[in-house]
A and B are shown apart, each in its own frame.
Chain A
Amino acid sequence: MTDLLQLVFAGLSQGAVYALIAIGFVSVFTVSGVINLAQGEFAALAGLVAISAVGSGLPLPAAAAVALATVAIVAVLMERLTIRPVKRMTTLVSLILTLGVSTALKALMLLVFGPNAEGLTPFTPGGFTVAGVSIRYQELWILAIAAVVASAVYWFYDHTLAGKSLRACAEQPVAARLVGISLGRASLMAFLIAGCVGAVAGVLASPIYFTSWESGLTLGLKGFVAATLGGLVSVRGAVLGGLLLGVLENLTAGYISTGLRDAVAFLLLIVVLVARPSGVFGRHAEARV
C-alpha cells in the first residue's frame, strides 16, 4: 500500500510536468493545426538557462524569470520566422518544420551549455515522510505551480476576450476572420502560451529530473502523448492525460521494470490512436480548447 501511494504520488508530480508541456501542444495545435515538435526544447532550454543563471549568481526566482522570458522570446521568434511565412500550413509540413527547429535548438543548447546533464537547485531542499511515503518539497512545488498555471490557462481561455478569440480561431477560422480576429496574431499568442507553459515545466522539472541539451526529446514526446490522450484539442484533456501518463509510468517502473518506463507512453499512444482517436476523455469533437 505504501509502495502504491509512493508511486502514485511520484507519478502525479511527474505527470504535472507532462501536463504543462501537453498544454503547449494543445494551445498551438488548436489555433494553427501545427504540431510543434520543439515544445520539449522549450522546457529543456528553460531548465538550462535557469541553471546557468543560478550558476552566475542570480537568485532562484530571478533565474526562473530569465528562463521564462528567454523561452517566450524564442517561441515568438520561432512563430514569426518559421510558421508565419508558410502560405499553406498542413500538419505534415508543420511536423517537418518544427522538427528542424527542434534540431537547431538542440544543437544551439549543446553549443552554449555543453553536453552535461545538470539539475537546478530545488526551490526548497529536502523533504519529509508521511505514512511511509517520502515526499520532496520540490514535488509539492511542482504540483502547486502546475495547478496554478493550468488553472490560469483555463481561466484565460474561458474568461478573457483574447482567450475566447483563440477558441474562435480554433473552431471556425473563417468566421473568426470575419469578426475581425487576425489568425496571425492568434497563432503568435498560441506560441507565446506554449513557450510559457513549456518554460515553467522545464524549470519545475529540472531539480528532480535533471536537464541536458537533449532532455527536450523525452519531455516533448511525453507531453505529446499526454496531449493526444486528451484528444489534442482540450486543455482539461491535456492535464488529465499528463497526470495519467505520469502515474502509469511510475506504476510500471515500480511494479514491472524501470526499463519499461518510457515504453508505457508509446504503448498508450498506439492504443489510444487505434481505439479512441478523439482522446480518452473527449466526449465530442466540437469543443476545442
Chain B
Amino acid sequence: MSLTVRGLVAGYGRLSVLHGVDLDAAEGRLVAVIGANGAGKTTLLRALSGLIPVSGGTVTLAGADVTGYGPERLARAGLAHVPENRLVFPSLSVEDNLVLGAYTRRRRPAAERAHARDRALELFPRLQPRLQQAAGTMSGGEQQMLAIARGLMAQPRVLVLDEPSVGLAPRLVGEIFAALGRLRDDGLTLVAVEQNARAAFAVADHVYVMDRGRVVLDGAAATLAADPRVTAAFLGGGVSADGGGKPPPATDTAADAGLR
C-alpha cells in the first residue's frame, strides 16, 4: 500500500511549519526523510498521522484520501506511527504493550493477533525474555524495538517512524535499521524520519532532504549519497555500510551545502 503526500501545509496554531511538502512512498519501499533540527521532519509525521491538524494539501493512503483523519481513525485505516522518544507504556509489561498495539484489531480472531505477535518477536528476539518486564525499565534500544513491535501489532500497511535511532549506540542503530530493511523486504511500506543520515542512507530506497518546512532535494538513496551537497551536509566522509556514524552537526547544514 502506498502513501502519497501532496502540498502538505501544517503547523502549531497559527504558526505554519510545513509549507507544501510532497512525498511518495510506494508499496514495499523504505523512504527516509532527513534534515537538520527544526527542518519540520517530526511535524510532517505528526500531520501525516493526524496528531496535528492539516491546513492544506492532501494525504492519500492506498488511493484513499485520508486527509484530516484523527490518529485513531488512521490507525484503523492501516497507518502505524512509531513516535518520537518511543513512548512505550512504562508501567505496563512488554506483553501488554504488544496487546495494546493490536487495539484496532481487538475484534479480529485471536489467531491473527498471535501471528502478528510471533512475527514481531521474531524480528526483535531481544523482547522475548522481557515479555513480563515493565516496559519502562528496559534500555532505550529495547524500548525502541518494543515501540516498533507495538506498531507492527496493528498489522499496518504503512509504518512511519520518528527518529528510531535517536540516543542509541551505533550497533543498536544498525540492528534496528536492519529490521526495518527486513520489513521492507516483506512488502511493508516504511517512512522513517532520521537525524542519523548515515544509518538512513544505508538501508533506504529513496531519501528526501527537508529544510525549513520544505523538501529541498530527493532521489534514490544511491544517487543522493553521491551528491556532493548531501555528502557535505549530512554524511561527512562518505556512507558507511554498518549504519553507524555520528548524527549531523546542529548548524545550518543545508545552507552551508548550498541547498537553498
- Contact count band on A: 10 to 19
Question: In the complex the two chains form, what is the Cα distance from A171 to B136 in whole Å?
Answer: 11
Q: Which residues of A contact B96 (CB under 8 A)?
A: 164
Asked if B91 lies at the interface with its beta carbon under 8 angstroms from chain A, I say yes
What is the 8 Å Cβ interface bit string for chain B, positions 158-173, against chain A (1 contact, 0 not)?
A: 0000000000000000
Instruction: Give the number of residue pairs across the A-B interface with Cβ within 8 Å.
Output: 72
What is the 8 Å Cβ interface bit string for chain A, positions 111-141, against chain B (1 contact, 0 not)?
A: 0000000000000000000000000000000
Asked if B103 lies at the interface with its beta carbon under 8 angstroms from chain A, I say yes
Q: Which residues of B contact A164 (CB under 8 A)?
A: 92, 96, 99-100
* Contact in complex: B103, A171 (CB < 8 Å): no
CB B202 to nearest CB in A, in angstroms, measures 27
- Contact count band on B: 20 to 34
CB B147 to nearest CB in A, in angstroms, measures 8
* Contact in complex: B81, A178 (CB < 8 Å): yes
What is the 8 Å Cβ interface bit string for chain A, positions 59-87, against chain B (1 contact, 0 not)?
A: 00000000000000000000000000000
Asked if A181 lies at the interface with its beta carbon under 8 angstroms from chain B, I say yes
Q: Which residues of A contact B51 (CB under 8 A)?
A: 174, 177-178
CB B238 to nearest CB in A, in angstroms, measures 36
CB A236 to nearest CB in B, in angstroms, measures 12
Chain A residues 179-219 with CB under 8 Å of chain B are 179-182
Chain B residues 60-82 with CB under 8 Å of chain A are 70-72, 75-76, 80-81
CB B46 to nearest CB in A, in angstroms, measures 9
11 more CB-based (< 8 A) A-B contacts, given A171-B91, A180-B75: A164-B96, A171-B89, A171-B92, A172-B87, A172-B90, A174-B83, A179-B100, A179-B101, A180-B71, A180-B76, A287-B90
**The 10 nearest A-B residue pairs measured at CB:** A180-B75, A175-B87, A180-B104, A287-B91, A177-B71, A178-B81, A172-B87, A180-B103, A168-B89, A179-B103
The contact sample of 27 A-B pairs, CB cut-off 8 A, is: A161-B99, A161-B100, A161-B106, A164-B92, A164-B99, A164-B100, A165-B100, A165-B103, A167-B91, A168-B89, A175-B83, A175-B87, A175-B89, A176-B100, A177-B70, A177-B71, A177-B72, A178-B49, A178-B71, A178-B80, A179-B104, A180-B75, A180-B104, A181-B72, A181-B100, A182-B72, A287-B134
